[in-house]
Chains A and B, each alone.
Chain A
Amino acid sequence: MSIKNISNFSFRLSSILQAPGIDRYRQRILFVMLAVSGVFMILLGRLFYLQIIQGENLRRQSEINSIRLQYIAPTRGLIFDRNGQLLVDDRPSFDLAVVRKDAKPLERTIENLSRYIGEPAETLMEKISERKGGSPYQPILLRKDIGRDLVAVVETHKYDLPGINVQVKPIRNYIDGKLAAHLIGYLSEISAKELGKEKYSTNRAGDFIGKVGVEKVYESFLRGERGGRQVEVNALGRVVRVLNSVPPKPGDNIYLTIDEALQEKAEELLAEKLLEGKAGAIAAMDPQTGEILVMASSPAFDPNIFVSGLSDEQYTSLITNPQKPFRNKVIQDTYPPASVYKIVTAIAGLEEGIVDAETEFNCTGSLFFGDRSFRCWRWKRGGHGNLNVVQALAQSCDVYFYKVGIELGVDRIAWYATACGLGEQTGIDLDNESSGLIPTSAWKKRRFNEVWQQGETLSIAIGQGYNLVSPLQALSLTAAVANDGDRYKPQIIHTIKSAEGEVLYRSEPVHLGRLPVSQKNLDLIKTGLREVVAGAHGTAHDYAYLPEIEISGKTGSAQVVGRKKSDEEETASENKDDEITRKDHAWFVAYAPSDQPRIAVAVFVSHGEHGSSGAAPIAKEIIRVYLEQGEDG
């Protein structure tokens, strides 16, 4: 655009046809140009102010870069039991760090430090060179949790140690170590993958986050909010002035539904079994609310080991342990429910009209079906003779339930089992809950492309075969029976309170539905379960009977031999272990007091042999402790 052109500009404009009213707009444009010039003058003025008037001052600030940002970690929320007993808190950890920019000369400083704390200078230098790419103002962690004695040493020699800082950070403290470790979970350093997730958008590398259990699921309540401060530091990197700060906001406190004393008792009982080489799980619930009173899985682990960082050896031994200490056997592992399942078969048989209160079957010790004979567990002593449904439950007669099962067929049994909440997740607020398996003929077709065999229905009817349930599902079924058919969602959180004590959440019972059974038929089942303990011939009479508390229950012994080939890690074990691993798994589910149940319990002891001797005494003990303790309070 030449000058000549511009001078012709106005001349041409007026001479050419144009849209009506356009002159009005042109005037506005001139005005807009003026306004734009004004705004740019303001920007220019600000540049002048910052770069010329404030220039020297800001240049100096940029050279010493004395203004730093320091983050202050929040204290994580505490975890209590239902009675306010403290289970998890935080303690201070003194971490040693170096800011490279301030540590001059670096080599000498590190050598000095190495002398004071007794760690080779090479290993310290290695840690520094690992992080060489980052900003020299970023503190580099040298050693975690050094303890008060070393803090004193470092502080006294601080003039020999420029750029060396002791940072105080709250870390997690699991007061009772292994207590309820699977339920509570543990913290560990955030992984690169997790850092990319939206859930952890406020986290930074090096943060500790909940990895499993309540610590993970309730992370957003527990973690609190990071605080921080802008500080001015001197040439040694020490804070001389705090310019501005934001206090951290502590996390919320969680009150679990578990009862610490009862949980401890349960873990003691499991520990005794562990001495015999047997793993196990115990879960207990208030049947009227669904609140979980006990959730114990054995063997357990100590979550404190993750706080200080565990050695490779520790990790390998935990991870290769065939009894899988990290698995929460209450919710993650599933097993054949064995005779506990007869509750379901009985409900189905009664509801479908295949049997009623009077129907009796004769048990001769075995039942011949198809081309083979199916035994009752009492086959050596010639069977149970004539039994009705109550007696069949009390004495856990296999033949009675074989006969009911044949009439029902696998799919009808499966419908009742599913309606009872088996074979699907209970919806408890924990990660990795297994759903288990309730087989149907369609399932087998899908899974193996094979037709369902009638003979398999017999195994299913007594809870063996493909059936798999978790101890929590077994507990949930038991609680529903105890509660006259009403099923409640298992809950682990009692209350969540802010650090100031304000109640943020209080759990309410969540009604899931009713067992598919009439009150009349359920009463028959309950009578049967009462007779399991109370009856002279009841399978648990010798092991779970308490004169002062009436307990109802059901034993179960899950066959292991048939499934052994699939468990590869077990075939590799030694001979003595082999003997144990061939034994049946022991189940006992129970509730008490029978007429007005306040607690339901499920006990599972892997390779515990008989539900009666292996599991029932444990359940009895849990019930006794809980109900006696209740009388005190």
Chain B
Amino acid sequence: MFDRRLAQHFDWILFGLSLVVAGIGLVALYSAVTAGTQTGDKALFNKQLMWYGIGLSVMVVSFFVDYKYLDKFAPAIYVGTVVLLVLVRFFGVVGGGARSWLFLGPFNIQPSEIAKLTVIIILARYYSRVPTANGYTLRELIKPILMTVAPFALISLQPDLGTAILLGLIAVAMTVFAGIERRTFLALGISCALIVPIVWSFFLRDYQKQRVLTLLNPDRDPLGAGYNIIQSKIAIGSGMLLGKGFLKGTQNALSFLPEQHTDFIFSVLAEEWGLLGSAAVLAVFFFLIICGLRIAYGCRDIFGMMIAVGVTAMLFWQVIINVGMVMGLMPVVGVPLPFVSYGGSSIVMMMLGLGLLINIRMRRFMFE
């Protein structure tokens, strides 16, 4: 089963890039959790280190299982994920305002993170099995839409808006990539344009509207998101060209940054390493994404290609939303920066995603 050719085609570049980005993440996290405190919260750092270890092991294991098995097991994986999401509704633990954690022995897991990969797999299976010449029609899209809506709704209810939006964006990216028939595309576009104002004026309550508006324009909430964004912009900008140096970020050390080890970790990084450092980090992410797309390009079966596109889309959206948010370009939604933000489930799932990409790359010349 294991072929020497597999090792030959191993994508060292992608693997190397993911180690680099993980290394950057550890440095930034170290600064975020230690600066400004006498003792420092080394426990968080050590925990993150452990998560990287687990993520790396999961990644290595994933090399050896042919991704084509995923096609076979996709329905089971999907059902399992939805069950986990339902369980979390009833037995979940509240963290950060949302009921999104499930206790599994010593670890807490976030089924919503698993759901992202699950949706990628199930949509890849659908789009690879249902052939299309001129793009999918509405009737053909009903199934994938329903398959996305179920986990999307469950995650929105937690309520973890950031992850739900991400899930939706990944599904949209994959579907647009798979191709939508021209008239269907128009029809969907027009109905969205009609539905949004109707929902807005008849179904949303005032406080819900306020929340959406604040999301789009943080200045509406000067005591919460608005203040966070101001301080985050000050942090990033004050890094200037070369940065203030490792552990020297004052915005970070004086606790002006909110959630500095999770959602706002890019600000810590930009403050301490300046334009050179933060642009380098962006470049690493850019190359990771291009690598992912190249793997999709080289793949000769549509299932593998779709998975590669989906995983790359996941990476892309998270980077764009997170970095865009801390720089004041995007709405303030809680999306972690891949590999860098603190958080076990996110890291393990990202590593697994990259493992899948490498897996696909390794098998590009293999046949059934």
Contacts and interface: CB of A to CB of B under 8 A. Distances in A.
Interface of A: 1, 9, 13, 16-22, 24-26, 28-30, 32-33, 36-37, 39-40, 42-44, 46-48, 50-52, 54-59, 61-63, 65, 67, 69, 71, 133, 135-137, 198, 201, 226-230, 243-246
Interface string B282-325: 10011001100100111011100100010000001000100110
Given A33-B293, A36-B290, A230-B222, A58 B301 contact: no
B219 A244 contact: yes
Contact of A47 (B230, B256, B316, B327): B327
A51 B305 contact: no
A51 B275 contact: yes
Given A55-B239, A58-B233, A133-B37, 19 more contacts: A1-B12, A16-B300, A17-B300, A19-B300, A22-B300, A25-B177, A25-B302, A32-B293, A36-B286, A37-B286, A51-B236, A51-B274, A61-B238, A62-B235, A62-B250, A227-B223, A228-B222, A243-B222, A244-B222
A417 to B, nearest CB: 39
25 contacts: A1-B11, A17-B300, A21-B302, A25-B305, A26-B297, A29-B293, A29-B309, A32-B177, A33-B293, A47-B236, A47-B282, A48-B275, A50-B233, A51-B239, A51-B274, A56-B240, A59-B237, A59-B240, A67-B231, A69-B227, A135-B254, A227-B223, A228-B222, A229-B222, A230-B227
Given A19-B300, A22-B302, A47 B293 contact: no
Contacts of B301: 18-19, 22
B13 interface: yes
Nearest to A18: B300
B238 A40 contact: no
The 8 closest A-B pairs by CB, nearest first: A58-B237, A62-B238, A244-B222, A55-B240, A18-B300, A50-B237, A59-B238, A228-B223
A58 to B, nearest CB: 3
B20 interface: no
Contacts of B106: none
Interface string B6-29: 000001110000000000000000
Contacts of A37: 286
A18 B304 CA distance: 12
Contacts of B235: 62
B270 interface: yes
Contact of A198 (B94, B222, B282): B94
A40 B236 contact: no
Given A25-B302, A43-B282, A58 B327 contact: no
Interface of B: 11-13, 37-38, 94, 97, 131, 133, 177, 179, 219, 222-223, 226-227, 230-231, 233-241, 250-251, 254-256, 270-271, 274-275, 278-279, 282, 285-286, 289-290, 293, 296-298, 300-302, 305, 309, 316, 320, 323-324, 327, 329, 365, 367
B97 A201 contact: yes
A61 B227 CA distance: 14
B251 A62 contact: yes
Contacts of A32: 177, 293, 309
Contacts of B270: 47, 51
A137 B253 CA distance: 12
A528 to B, nearest CB: 55
A202 to B, nearest CB: 11
A394 B42 CA distance: 78
Nearest to A27: B297
Contacts of A230: 222-223, 226-227, 230
Contact of B222 (A44, A54, A245): A245
B305 A22 contact: yes
B234 A244 contact: no
A136 B94 CA distance: 31
A204 B327 CA distance: 28
Contacts of B305: 22, 25
Contacts of B271: 62
Contacts of A56: 240
Given A22-B305, A52-B240, A40 B286 contact: yes
Interface of A is mostly: helix
Contacts of A26: 297
A203 to B, nearest CB: 14
B231 to A, nearest CB: 8
B327 A55 contact: no
A335 B256 CA distance: 57
Contacts of B309: 29, 32
A36 B241 contact: no
Nearest to A101: B254
B223 A43 contact: no
Nearest to A36: B289
B266 to A, nearest CB: 10
Given A51-B241, A52-B275, A58-B234, A65 B256 contact: yes
Contacts of A67: 230-231, 234
A416 B290 CA distance: 80
A57 B237 contact: yes
B223 A44 contact: no
A39 B293 CA distance: 15
A137 B256 CA distance: 9
Contacts of B316: 36, 39
Contacts of B255: 135
Contacts of A16: 300, 365
A243 B274 CA distance: 27
Nearest to B361: A1
Nearest to B236: A50
Contacts of B223: 69, 71, 226-228, 230, 246
A529 B57 CA distance: 83
B155 to A, nearest CB: 19
A58 B256 CA distance: 14
Nearest to A56: B240
Contacts of A13: 298
A51 B241 CA distance: 6
